[in-house]
């Protein structure tokens, strides 16, 4: 990596991962000069597959990555998304415990990331308490969100989850740009199940569906449903 590219990369790293500013800059700069590689990745590219070992750790500087798991029957669910400034809990777990990935990481948009070989990153974690604590903090936050997801999928009704998800995705025009397939992935169920639920919502006059778009009509009703007020 050239000196100019290194400085630009360090600036981006400090912008999205400010924890690195707390460490001595000459240590960080020399470390990334020696070990890191700036990579640009197209949309819909697998960063890792289920069963892969974690050989490189990606610090996302631009774009979004989605992490998906699937059952033996082919049912998929979105576990979480990674955005610039966030770490991947599965990458961290596989790196620390030398385990294989239990899920798939796919670029949802074109991405730019700093790729660091895992053995080199482990040495940095052993050297820097600050960065070590940063990884542990992000790990705990993501584990908490995964527990919330498990509780939601296992314990909440589908109509409640769909209503909540639509409200969270709604723009200023009360519209959600999403396909039935994509909504099924994020909810963690089959496309046919989502389509039936949306037809029920539309029959009740709560939404209007078009190809790739859902318009929310009865916002207050959907809010009440999302909070479990309807039986």
Phi, psi of 208 (to 5 degrees): -130, 130
Instruction: Give ranges for CATH 2.60.120.10 in the chain.
Output: 3-154
Q: Rounded to an integer, what is the distance from CA 33 to the centroid of its chain?
A: 28
Work out the percent of the chain whose per-residue pLDDT is above 90: 63
pLDDT of residue 193: 94
Structural class in CATH, domain 156-226: mainly alpha
Taking only the tens place, the pLDDT of each residue in 150-189 is 888 888 999 999 999 999 999 999 999 999 999 999 998 8
d(CA 41, CA 48): 13
- Answer whether CATH 2.60.120.10 is correct for domain 3-154: yes
* 143 closest CA partner among 68, 104, 78, 93: 93
pLDDT exceeds 70 at position 24? no
State the DSSP H helix or E strand holding residue 134, giving kind and residue range, or none if neither: helix 129-155
Instruction: Give ranges for CATH 1.10.10.10 in the chain.
Output: 156-226
Taking only the tens place, the pLDDT of each residue in 53-64 is 999 999 999 999
């Amino acid at each position: 990596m050239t000196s100019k590219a290194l400085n630009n990369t360090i600036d981006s790293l400090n912008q999205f991962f400010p924890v690195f500013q707390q460490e001595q800059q000459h240590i960080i700069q020399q470390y990334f000069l020696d070990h890191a590689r700036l990579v640009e990745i197209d949309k819909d590219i697998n960063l890792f597959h289920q069963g892969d070992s974690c050989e490189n750790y990606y610090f996302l500087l631009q774009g979004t990555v989605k992490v998906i798991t699937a059952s033996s029957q082919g049912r998929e669910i979105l576990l979480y998304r990674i955005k610039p400034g966030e770490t991947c809990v599965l990458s961290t777990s596989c790196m620390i415990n030398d385990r294989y990935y239990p899920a798939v990481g796919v670029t949802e948009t074109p991405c730019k990331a700093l790729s660091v070989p895992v053995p080199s990153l482990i040495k940095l974690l052993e050297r820097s308490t600050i960065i070590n604590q940063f990884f542990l903090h992000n790990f705990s936050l993501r584990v908490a969100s995964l527990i919330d997801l498990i509780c939601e999928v296992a314990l909440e009704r589908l109509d409640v989850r769909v209503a909540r998800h639509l409200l969270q995705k709604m723009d200023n025009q009360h519209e959600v740009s999403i396909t039935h397939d994509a909504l099924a992935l994020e909810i963690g169920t089959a496309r046919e199940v989502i389509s039936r639920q949306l037809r029920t919502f539309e029959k009740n006059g709560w939404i209007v569906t078009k190809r790739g778009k859902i318009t929310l009509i009865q916002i207050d009703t959907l809010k009440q449903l999302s909070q479990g007020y309807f039986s």
